[in-house]
Every structure is written in C-alpha cells, then in structure tokens.
Structure 1
Amino acid sequence: MEDIRVVVAIDFGTTNSGFAFAHKERPKERETYNSWPDDSGKFKTPTALQYDSKYKNVIAWGVNALVEFQDAVDDDESNQLSRPVELFKLHLLDLEEDKPWLPPGLNYEQAIKDYLTEMRKLVEEKLSSRWCNVKFPSQVKIILTIPAEWPPHTTRIMRECAYKAGLLDKLSSNNLEFTTEPEAAALHCLSVVKEHDLKPEDCGGGTVDITIRKLLENNELGEITERVGYPCGSTFVDKEFLRFIGEKVGINALSDLKKNHYKQIQNLVQEFFCRRIKFGFKGRQSEWRPIRLDLLHFCPSLENYVIGDRKTEMEKDGWIIKMDFTPVKEMFDPAVNKILELISDQLKASKEKCSAIFLVGGFAESTYLLDKVKENFRFQVDKICVPTLPITAVVRGGLSYGLNINTVKTRVLKWTFGIEVARKWVPGKDEVKRKSPGGLIYTFESLVKRGSEVEVDKPISKVYYPFQANQKAVTFKIFYTPEEGGKFCDDQGMKYINTLRIDIPDIKHGLDRPIKFSLTFGKLECKASAYNEKTKKKYNDIDFYVEE
C-alpha cells in the first residue's frame, strides 16, 4: 500500500532547474529550495554539467559547471577542462535547426540521468535533514514538470532517467507523476486569483508553454484549449546575440572560439549580454543609451580566429562594438513575436472570453515581453500581469499538483488516440496491397480525437467483438497521431504506443463476446484496459509508455 509522506516537485528546465517540497501532513508549509552550492539565495541553478576530459564522470553541476567554477583555475588549465554540457533537454524535441552540442559518446539521456542524479543527491540530503523518519524514495512522491510540446514518448524517457538517477526504487513505481509546465503554472496562479478578483469561469494562460484554463468551483481547474509550446524562451535571445556577434567577426571565428575557449563565450553571454543588456531591456528607444562592448575584454582569444577584412575592420574599431537600440531589439523580437503568436492562437481557439493572462517563468521578468503582450492583447483580455516570483511558478505549481492531484478536472488532448481494427477487404473499394492473406484489411479507428476535452480519470470506451467465432485471443494495438484522424496505422505521423492482449477462451458464445476497451486520460501517463461485458471479467491494465 502506498505510504507517501513527502511530495517533491522538480522543475527540470532547459537553462535552469529547481525543486520544492512539502510534507503531506503540513501541505501549507511549502519550501522552494534556494541553497544551491556556491549559489545560495537563488531559486534555480543552471541546467549544466561539467564532465572530466573523457565525458565519463560528472565533476561539477549547476552554477559550478559554468564560468564561476572555471574561474577557480588559471586560464591555461581551464582550457583543458571539458566543455560544459548545456541545453541537453532540447534533444527531446524535433528541432528544425541543429540541436544543442553534445560531445561524442555522450547521449542526451545519459546527460539527463546524470543531472537528475545530482539533483537527487541534494533532494535526499535536504529531506533527511527535515524529516529523519521519511524513507527515500519509497515514501516520497516525485512530480516532474514537462513542456507542453513534448510528445507522449518523452514521459517514458524521463521515467527511465529518473529511475536510473535513484529517484524511484523501481521503474514502474507510482511514486512518479508528470504534469505539464503550463498546467503547473496555472495551478500556481490559483494562489493569486483573489488578488485579481477572478471568480469561477475566469481563466489564465501560461508563458512559452501556453494553455487556457477555466477556474472552476473549489479552486479546481479545467482545460479549454489544447496546450501548445515552442522553444522560444530567453535562451533563444542569447542565441540571437551570438548571431549578431558572428556577423561582426565571422561565424567560423566565433565557432572556433566556442570550440576552443568555451569559457570566454560564457563570459560574453552571461557577464556582458545578460547582466548589462538582457535583464534590463525595456524596448523603449527613448530610454536606451548605447553600450560599448569591448570584445577582447571578454574574449581575449578571439583575435586569433578573426581573419581578412573583418579583422582589419575590428582592429580599426579597437575591437569595440557599439550596441545600439535597433540590433538589440532585433535580438528579442524573434522569441517575443513567437510568444505573441502562440498567445493569439490560444485566444482564437478558445470559445470563451479570457479574463486574465499571467506571465510566469524566467522570461516573464522581461519588461519588454510584458509590454508587448499588453500592447497586443489589452483589448481582448482585462488583466495581464506577472505574479510574485514568476521564476518559481512552475515548480510551486508542480508541488500543488502533487499535494492535490484532483485539482485538475479536465484536459484537452494534443493527439488523436485509437486502435488497429480488422474488417473484410472489399474489392474495388480497398487497395489490393492492403489485403491480408486471410482476406482482411487493417485500419485505424480513433477513440478520441485531438482537441477533445476529457475528464480526468474518466474512461473513454467502445465495445468490440471478436472477428471469428473460434477466436481465443484479442489484441488491441494502440496508436496516436498529431492529426485529427487517420486511415491506417502506417500513415505518416502515426506512432505505435503499446499492445493490450487478452484471452477470450469462451468460444461457446461465438461472436457474441462483447469486450469493452477503454482509454483513461487522467495523468500524463495514461492507461488502456479491457472488460468482458458478458463474463464481467476485467483484464489487466497497461500503462501508456509510448515507444519511439
């Protein structure tokens, strides 16, 4: 029997991560961890790993894997250290552009496992100092928040990584739950609805992962649009800054500098761009004062890689780049405009009026982003604001979810789910190549379509019958697709999930053996089940562990 004493929410972020926890006996006493090694006072630590020179063993993680750690050794020695591994979470997405760098021999699943291992050590240490009688991990419920745009198979990958990291005592443990980042953010925003005079039937939205939620009675949430997400957070603003620098000195020169002196690139981005420009940029030209960037101060090795006319030009300017308003604004605009597009699409998809938009997450601190959202949607939405400590919204919301999973009442599906079914092949109607040796054709039949709002933990069912009177077994092959429907299980985009096989030995009933097949969309890891309507026998469930 489950004996959960403590709930821990882990926000495993692209650039920064954090965790929060609470005892189930005192759910109001919630703590967001802020005592990171060498970075105390922050609610998150960088999602970064420093390996040894062969990328086999982790020697530092979090802030210690970045510039501050490398500053502890002299420059010649630090250049021999392995390049920090960052942004590896993005490998779970099908990005159009090249995925973030990973060293040869290190796959992203290993990096995720290694990072969660370091996180687990800290979580375990913290919980043992708070409650010496809590057994880790058997008495601890872990909530992992995941982006809205992740396809279903990523929960399987994250579960395996969490197990290998020691967060679970067995792979199939019920001690791990998933919730999406916009769902967690929406749950956190429940704590501020009274401040904004929101009542049931009002709704709020998320950030780069976006959904529209309906506030129900008793502080419960329903989902009324399909959640969406896109990799367009503040990391991509940094990327635009480096693209701008690359245009000045040459892309190859910047690439060589990154390869051989990664510490200097980090210094340039973190110490100059983030601290002097990104964090304070308001997007108001009248308030902008040009900033001089001394490239060799932050990147002293850069001059060894710049060649030709670009080197002549940079030497003429003393390796100084003047950061004017327009190019800086252009660094923000691709990410900001994509966020505006995502919000607009969500508002159009909603059949109900949206009463409030809450911006949460690290990028929510951007004055420019907030101003642009207000400028674009002030006539559609009455209240647009940033709650207190937006950077902790996801992890605190994840904790709220773990303490009261029943808070979420409905979800809108991002995929169409169904099974493979057989019928007689019809000449002239069906393709010859689809005809099986037994004269059958196998097609895809959807049980629930993308965009459907489903009640949490309420089965969606349909009754099926055996195809042959002497049939002693039935298999339900489950598939999903991003399309609203599908004709065959080998259609483009169609993905196999799992197979539920059941025995039906009572052949004396012939074809009259109704079997109710159900899909339950409660948690992000869902279940398929079958029930014999005649014998009242319930067959074993299978979890929705989606295969690649």
Structure 2
Amino acid sequence: MTNSSSDIRVVVGIDFGTTYSGFAYAYVNANVDTPNSIETNDTWPEKKGEFKTNTVIRYDDKFNVLKWGLPALAEKVSRKSKNSKFEEIQIAELFKLHLGDISEEEKPKLPLGLDPRKAITDYLCEIRKLLKSRISDRWPGLIYFKHVRIVLTIPVEYDERVRAIMRQCAYDAELILTLESENLEFTTESEAAAIYCLENLSEHPLKEGDSFMIVDCGGGTVDLTVRTILPDLQLSELTESTGDFCGSAYIDKEFKKFLEIKIGKSALKFMEEKHYPHLQYLIQYFCTHVKLPFDGDERNWRNKEIDLEEVCPVIMQYVKGEEREDLEGCEWLIELDFQTVKYFFDKVVGNILKLIREQLTKSEKNIAAIFLVGGFSESNIVKGAVIYGLKMDAIKTRVLKKTYGINYCRNWTPNDPAEKMKIIGGQKKILVFKRLAKKGTEVYVDQAFKEIVYPIYKEQSACNFSIYKINADDGKYCDDPEMKLFGTLNLEIPDVHLGFGRPMEFTLTFGQMETRAFAKALKSGKSVQANFKLEL
C-alpha cells in the first residue's frame, strides 16, 4: 500500500452507520486528552446542532442524488394529494445491511436497479464534500486528501471481504487518492468506543489490568468486545469480538409485521413496491412518536394512536376485506398499548442480552465494567475513531475470528487419499491445509506469521499460494466444504540459476484490520515482491 503517514496533518473519524452517520476530526498535533481537541461535526444539510444525520439518500428515476441525510426523508403528504410527486422519487435507506451476512429475504428493500455499493459510494461522496468544506474552513492550505487520514468504523461482524468493498467505495467516493492508500484505516465500532473509554478513565474507576466490555447498540448491528487495559494506555482484546444484526432497525421491522396484520399482506406489498416514501414516512412517525419515547416502564406509558388517514392516507386505497372493515370501524386509528410496543423490543433486547451472556461466559477474567454505547448522540464511537487515527498503537492485540492457512504442497504418502494425489514435476504430491494462525488466538496487531517455502521445480521463477480460512481450530484439506478461500499470495522467486536451493520466507499479518504480506529471499536477505489479493 502507498505509505504517506509522514504527510498526515488531520485525522478524520467517520461513523458510517446503518441509520445515522457522523464524523469528527482533529489536527495531528492536538492534545488528545483535551476534549476540545476533537471536533464533532454538528452542521448538516437542513439540520444544525445534531452530531449525526440520517443515512438516507433520495434519488431521481435515473439514480442521481437529489438529497441526502435528513432532507432525503419523506415528508408528510396531505389527504388531498394521495398520488403526489413522491412517486417520481426513490429513497434508499438501510443499504449498509446489504454487506452483512444475512439472507436475501432479510435484506432491506432498495429501489429496483440500485446496487447497494452505489448507494454506499454516493453517501460517502456527500460526506466527503461536506467534510472537505469543514476542514477547509478550519485548516486552510491542506492538500486533499493527501494530508488527511480517514478512519472508517465498521461493525465487528464485517469480515475482510466487506472491508475491501468499503475501501473500494471510499476510493470511488474520492475519500482516498489511490485504492491502496494507507490514508484509509478501519476500526470496529466497538473498538473505537473502547478507545474513547480508555482516554476518559478519569470518569470511571478503572485501572491497568482491569477488563471491561463495550456493548455498541447501533441501528443495524450490535457489537461486543472485551478489552483489558495495558501499560501506556493500550488495549488488548480478551475474547473474540462478537456481534449480530439486532439493532434498532429491527424494532421497526417488528412494527412493519404488526402493520401487515392491521392492513393486510397485499396492502403492505403495494406500499413497499409503489409508495415506499409514504411507507417510510409512516415508519418515521412510529419511531418519533412511539419507539423513541418508550422506556420499558409501564408506569410512564400512555397508549399511542397512529391515524392512518392523517399520517399515510395513500394506504387507505389498498386495504381490503376484513382489515378494511376493522379499520373503518375504528376510524383508521391504530392503537399501540404497552404490551404491544414491548413485544417489538423484546426480541431485540433478548438477542442483546444473549450476546452479553456469551461474552461473560467466554471471558476468563472478571469484567469490571460494561459500557453501553451507540444511538443518536454525540457519538464516542466517532471520537474513538479519531483517537485511533492519532494514536495507531492504542490497540495492542486483537483476537482472531478465523483460522488461517495455506494450500501446502507436500509429498503424497499411501495414507493420503488416492483421489487427491497430483503429479508435479514427475513426483507424487498432495495439497493439504497448513495452519498459519489459529482462531481465538490473541495476536499483536503487527505479529508476523511466517512460512519458509522452496521451489517445486528448478526453473520456477514465481509461485502463488491460496490462503484459506475456516471457522474451526484447524483443517485437513483445502477442498473440504467448510474451507473458504481467503485470498491469493503471489511471490517472486529470484535467482533461478540456484535451482531448488532458494528458500523463500513469506510473512502475513492477520492482527491488523487488513491482511498484509511481505517476503524475502533467505540466502540474499533481500525483500522480494509479495502481493496478497483478497478473494471478493
């Protein structure tokens, strides 16, 4: 990757969230311990005083961006304009979830023909325009984006394949100058929150050696990590970080299921396909008037009513049969009592508690504190991302979520499967999985995993290794069903005249957010070309 760390003058943390996004920035010479050294953006299109804006884009029928953030949300439509100009616009939201490992049925609907990667790129492009304006006002004379390090937060369950997609989107959005630029770094949302907590220990009775848990409840995902405080205010990862798709957007999903019962399956389908902006406005209304005020205490609850005729009049033309009779009988009012709303929350809260229990069970140390973060506020996640960009050594260790290895060529033996035998250079060979790094291992972020290899024929001038990953402690053969191709490592093998006597050492680092490769010829000690290409 292109190394330009010495040119960095400003660090920007971008919290690109499922439902809300924000960014903060700081000059590299700023005193991180001084709260005012990190500035959180609070001015957005048609919105001021809030530290985040909605992760929503409004397109025209050719997928040109019309508006983004809060202005992209659907407005209220009067009863006199049921077939308004709304039908000419297309709204994209929750598109970040399309990168997650969830079924197609669970992925949010997007306008027909819209690739979620385009939506991500378009949104990051709008962020970039606003970000450049803010930094230009604050520090005139910077070269964009040569002097700016971007730290992008991602959910803990997003693997390296997704990080590569995000890197491509960031490049297409012109946040970085080259695809390989080291001016873009990643950190998980829970890791960024942990870094922020580490920098504010005076607010909490934690000390060196203590372990704490971060529970980041976002719009789409909930991420958990357990960290131990090391000397010099560094953090190690105690257990494998975990997460799931059970953020606040899934409460909205439960409301939609409830709405489907009230209006009928066909009516909801028509709304999703023909009048999505109207449906989105109805869900916004639910969030503002029902979801956000709900605190789980029945003593504070007053039943809520949603007047469909007032809030979403277009829906009335699609309701048929018994559902229509019932709604007409109650004047198109939907009542939400405490138990109904609690049911919307129960599944999401239950999943979060399950994740917490699993982390507590896995931890071999006592957890001194649990920090609950996330939500629509001045996010300690985005500030933690900036701190990470200022102090890249804040994270000392991470725990591997997969086992990694190579397809290693060795001599075939009679104990090996006959069908897996290969004839290479006139000799019987077999490709087996050779483990490099084991799942669950705590590794330093720059820890090297090395392997020495030799040419398999005299004239060989280059070779490649397929790197595999598996969700187990080890594997046997790379063509086993549970094996997943992680990427390909290409190596030069110089000094062909030396024949077989050319040992090569290659190194892979798995502790960083993006895997990197190095290699050298052991006889000469010289570095040689090593390229790692991720499987997408």
1:456 positional shift: 1.6
> Is the 1:473–1:505 Cα contact (8 Å) retained in structure 2?
no
Which of 331, 336, 339 is the matching residue for 2:344?
331
Q: List aligned pairs for 1:89-488, cutoff 5 A.
A: 89-96=96-103, 97-204=105-212, 205-207=214-216, 208-271=222-285, 273-362=286-375, 389=377, 392-427=379-414, 429-438=415-424, 439-468=428-457, 471-488=460-477
Please state if 1:501 is matched with 2:491: yes
Q: 2:356, 2:148 → 1: CA distance?
A: 36
SS of residue matched to 2:22: strand
1:470 positional shift: 5.8
Flag the 1:140–1:269 CA change in 2: closer, same or farther, 3 A.
same
Q: 1:472, 1:465 → 2: CA distance?
A: 11
Partner of 1:379: none
Q: 1:243, 1:521 → 2: CA distance?
A: 42
Flag the 1:209–1:310 CA change in 2: closer, same or farther, 3 A.
same
Partner of 2:534: 546
Name which of structure 1's ranges 207-216 and 286-295 shifts more when overlaid on structure 2. 286-295
> Is the 1:527–1:541 Cα contact (8 Å) retained in structure 2?
no
Partner of 2:219: none
SS of residue matched to 1:229: strand
Query: Percent of aligned positions with the same letter in both sequences?
Result: 42
Q: 1:221, 1:65 → 2: CA distance?
A: 39
Amino acid at match of 1:63: L
Flag the 1:541–1:214 CA change in 2: closer, same or farther, 3 A.
farther
Partner of 1:373: none
Which of 22, 28, 50 is the matching residue for 1:24?
28
Which of 515, 520, 534 is the matching residue for 1:526?
515
Flag the 1:230–1:334 CA change in 2: closer, same or farther, 3 A.
same
Q: 1:474, 1:314 → 2: CA distance?
A: 70
TM-superposition CA deviations, 1:289-338 (whole Å, max 9, x none): 22222222211122211111111111112222221111111100111111
Amino acid at match of 1:300: P
Partner of 1:374: none
SS of residue matched to 1:116: helix
TM-superposition CA deviations, 1:517-545 (whole Å, max 9, x none): 221235311212222323212223435x5
Flag the 1:547–1:472 CA change in 2: closer, same or farther, 3 A.
closer
Q: 1:261, 1:467 → 2: CA distance?
A: 63
Amino acid at match of 1:10: I
Flag the 1:62–1:70 CA change in 2: closer, same or farther, 3 A.
farther
| Structure 1: tracts of 5 or more residues without a match | 364-388
Amino acid at match of 1:234: S
1:471 positional shift: 4.6
Flag the 1:354–1:16 CA change in 2: closer, same or farther, 3 A.
same
Flag the 1:440–1:340 CA change in 2: closer, same or farther, 3 A.
same
Please state if 1:5 is matched with 2:5: no
Amino acid at match of 1:341: K
Partner of 1:536: 525
Q: C-alpha root-mean-square deviation of aligned residues, in Å?
A: 2.1
Q: List aligned pairs for 1:11-90, cutoff 5 A.
A: 11-28=15-32, 29-55=37-63, 57-68=64-75, 76-90=83-97
> Is the 1:206–1:212 Cα contact (8 Å) retained in structure 2?
no
> Is the 1:53–1:81 Cα contact (8 Å) retained in structure 2?
yes
SS of residue matched to 2:225: coil
1:223 positional shift: 0.5
Name which of structure 1's ranges 16-25 and 489-498 shifts more when overlaid on structure 2. 489-498
> Is the 2:459–2:499 Cα contact (8 Å) retained in structure 1?
no
1:68 positional shift: 4.4
1:67 positional shift: 2.3
Amino acid at match of 1:301: V
Flag the 1:133–1:472 CA change in 2: closer, same or farther, 3 A.
closer
Q: 1:361, 1:78 → 2: CA distance?
A: 35
Name which of structure 1's ranges 10-19 and 244-253 shifts more when overlaid on structure 2. 244-253
> Is the 1:63–1:69 Cα contact (8 Å) retained in structure 2?
no
Amino acid at match of 2:231: E
SS of residue matched to 1:395: helix
Name which of structure 1's ranges 477-486 and 29-38 shifts more when overlaid on structure 2. 477-486
SS of residue matched to 2:194: helix
Q: 1:70, 1:15 → 2: CA distance?
A: 23
Partner of 1:381: none
SS of residue matched to 2:319: coil
Equivalences, count: 516
TM-score by length of 2: 0.91
Flag the 1:244–1:160 CA change in 2: closer, same or farther, 3 A.
same
> Is the 2:404–2:436 Cα contact (8 Å) retained in structure 1?
yes
Amino acid at match of 1:51: Y
Amino acid at match of 1:546: L
Q: 1:541, 1:212 → 2: CA distance?
A: 34
Q: 2:204, 2:238 → 1: CA distance?
A: 21
Flag the 1:184–1:339 CA change in 2: closer, same or farther, 3 A.
same
More strand by share: 2
TM-score by length of 1: 0.89
SS of residue matched to 1:344: helix
| Structure 2: tracts of 5 or more residues without a match | 217-221
SS of residue matched to 2:302: coil
Q: 2:70, 2:357 → 1: CA distance?
A: 36
> Is the 1:421–1:443 Cα contact (8 Å) retained in structure 2?
yes
